[in-house]
Every structure is written in structure tokens, then in C-alpha cells.
Amino acid sequence: SNPTWANHKNIFEDAGMKVEEYRYWNPSSKSLDISGMLDDLRNAPEGSIILLHACAHNPTGVDPTSHQWHQVAQIVRENKLLPFFDVAYQGFATGDLDRDAYVPRLFKDMNIELVAAQSFAKNLGLYSERIGTLQFFLADGETASRVQSQCKRIGRAIYSNPPAHGARVVAEVLLDEQLRNEWEREIKTMASRILEVRSALSKCLYDLAPEGDWNYITEQKGMFTYTGLTEKQVGYLRDHYHIYMMKSGRISMAGLPTSKVEYLAKAILDVIRNVQ
């Protein structure tokens, strides 16, 4: 998608693939460009791999609605595209693991072959372990056998034997009912806190500038807010307010203390009004 996680392009180009972008972000409305997205998917060559964010899109925080996902799935099936899901933030969009897994499961229920790369870096706090899963939903056993054979071959060439520590931690949590329940509660706590910070920032901006449209802050999901600020405005925030975010205007809501919400809101209004 345009935009997407910066490393996506590197990963696929290093694998020898040609990378094209499909429209996703509408900067004027700070929302999803669904018509552009659907048009670009319709025009993608048959057999193309389409990278999709399962939930909490990085960097925009903008996810399609259930109806829009059905539209995407229909085009993917009709045009014989292969969806590749990046599942990096399961649980961080809504606080519910099952709700955040809705999209890959929708495609599976529609009998669409797919690939899903799932990370436990964020939702299990195992960032340095680089632990996750690579899952395939395929049409038949023969195809599955071929894919498994190729995955083993690739894995053997890359790392021979994978590190086990992170995988054992994940298995311990997922297979123990008490630990899993505790983990799910902690995910809900984190997701709820992010939602509360979003709501507080939006309310503060409306209190200070009721003429503005700040709904996008609460409509976006996950750890990040895509502010729509320019690189120049981001630099001004850094130099004058010591507020740090990506040059693209993406800011981490998870790293925003409640006590600093008003400070951030006033700084954002300053740069919007005075820095062009």
C-alpha cells in the first residue's frame, strides 16, 4: 500500500520481486482511499501477490470496514490474486485477538488461498526474539506439500536451525490456559489505554480548536496516528517542542503519556497554524 511499513519494499525487492504500490491513504480526508485501492487491485496483473495489513495498518492506522474488506476479497478472488497478510499488531487494534484476526479468516472462509506472516514481537513483548509464524491456506494437499518443501529448503539455507527461546516462550503462554488468559487481559489493557489516549487527544484538540476535524485520531486504530503533518512541521515540533515522530508524521500513541496530551495538542495547533 502507499504508504506502508518502510521495510516491506526492502524485503520483497531483496527477494528479487518487482514492487508496485496501490493507493491507500487519502491525505485530504486523512482516511482510506477505498476507490483508488479497489481500482488498483482490479488492474493488478493476474497472479500478483497483494500485501495487506490484517489490522492496525502501519503507518496510517486506517483499516477498511467489514464491507470494504468484502469488496477487496471479491476482487482478489475474481482476479486470481494472492493475498499476503502482515499480521503485526493482532490485539492492538481492538483489544480482542479474534476481532483483529477477522480479515485473514474472512478470506479463508471465502476459500481464497493466502499467506499470513504473524509477529509476536509487539503483542507478546518479544521484539528482540523475532518470533512469529508463516501460515499458508492452500487449495489442496499436493500444493501444501510443495509449499512446505520449499519453505524447509529456504529455512535450511537461511538459518539451518532456528533459535528456540522465543518460540518456547510463545508456546508456554499459548498452551497454558491461565497464562493465556492473563496475556489476553494485558492486551486489552494496553489497547484500552491507547484508545483512551486517542480520545483524550481528540477531545483536547476539539476544546482548543472546535472548528477543526479531529475525528481521524479516534477513527485510526493501533499504536500509531498518522497526523498528516509535513516533514517541515515535524521538524518544527522536534526543534521547538522536543516532540519526536517519524518524518512522515506518524506518531506512537502508545508512547504518549496522558499528562502530555494537552502539550502535544497545543504544539500540533501551533505548527498547523504557523508552519507551512
- Known catalytic residue: 122? yes
- Known catalytic residue: 207? no
Q: Which of 25, 122, 183, 214 is catalytic?
A: 122
Q: Which of 5, 69, 188, 203 is catalytic?
A: 5
The rounded distance, in Å, linking the Cα atoms of 175 and 63 is: 30
Q: Which of 30, 86, 214, 221 is catalytic?
A: 86
From the centroid of its chain, how far is CA 171? 24
- Known catalytic residue: 14? no
DSSP string, the chain: -BS--HHHHHHHHHTT------B-EETTTTEE-HHHHHHHHHTSPTT-EEEEESSS-TTT-----HHHHHHHHHHHHHTT-EEEEEE--TTTTTS-HHHHTHHHHHHHHTT--EEEEEE-TTTTT-GGGT-EEEEEE-SSHHHHHHHHHHHHHHHHHHTSS---HHHHHHHHHHH-HHHHHHHHHHHHHHHHHHHHHHHHHHHHHHHH-TTS--HHHHHS-SSEEE----HHHHHHIIIII-----TTSEEESTT--GGGHHHHHHHHHHHHHH--
Which of the residues are catalytic? 5, 86, 122
